[in-house]
Amino acid sequence: MTKEELMRKAIELSKENVANGGGPFGAVIAKDGEIIATGVNRVTASCDPTAHAEVSAIRAAAAQLGTFNLSGYEIYTSCEPCPMCLGAIYWARLDKMYYGNNKTDAKNIGFDDSFIYDELELKPADRKLPSEVLLHNEAIKAFEEWAEKEDKVEY
């Protein structure tokens, strides 16, 4: 399939998902024009705030391929990803991302992620979500063990 055909599939998935009671988002992960996995937004259907189309497609691709490293693959998503999905795309090491709608288009229909982008720019103490460091001296021990582990699988 061409890039355009793969994007049309992501768009088709987003439209089908709206018809099925989900959000207007779809994603496709492909390599060399072949679809490996797809995903749609199922936040409300599955009561899972992380069930965005891109995350769902990444989970499906990783399960299908038996790896967390999706280097060599591309993602086609019907909309510019939110901060969570963008982070997941980077962590999955996808080679390239294509998107249809942008974050302003999403904001215009009620999917406004700008507050998260704004929050990320702030120091933790200045964010709207109260947070504090707790039991750092105990928590750091797991990091020390990880740093010393010789047979770890780095990711």
Along the 155 residues of the chain, how does pLDDT read in single tens digits? 999 999 999 999 999 999 999 999 999 999 999 999 999 999 999 999 999 999 999 999 999 999 999 999 999 999 999 999 999 999 999 999 999 999 999 999 999 999 999 999 999 999 999 999 999 999 999 999 999 999 988 88
For the sheet containing 74-79, what is the strand order? 34-40, 26-31, 74-79, 96-101
Residue 152 lies in a domain: no
Q: Is residue 1 part of a domain?
A: yes
Residue 75 lies in a domain: yes
Kindly report the pTM of this predicted structure. Answer: 0.92
When divided into structural domains, the chain yields a total of: 1
What CATH number did the domain enclosing 22 receive? Answer: 3.40.140.10
Residue 119 placed within a domain: yes
Residue 73 host element (H or E):
none
Does 128 fall in a domain?
Answer: yes
Which domain range does residue 127 map to? 1-146
What pairing do the DSSP bridges indicate for beta strands 96-101 and 74-79?
parallel
- In angstroms, rounded to a whole number, what is the distance separating the alpha carbons of residues 25 and 21? 12
The verdict on residue 83 lying in a domain is: yes
Half-sphere exposure (Cβ direction) of 84: Cα atoms closer than 13 Å: 12
Q: Is 138 marked active-site?
A: no
With beta carbons less than 8 A apart as the criterion, state whether 36 and 64 touch. yes
Task: Spot the catalytic one: 12, 34, 54, 144.
Answer: 54
Residue at 155 is within a domain? no
In a domain, 153, yes or no: no
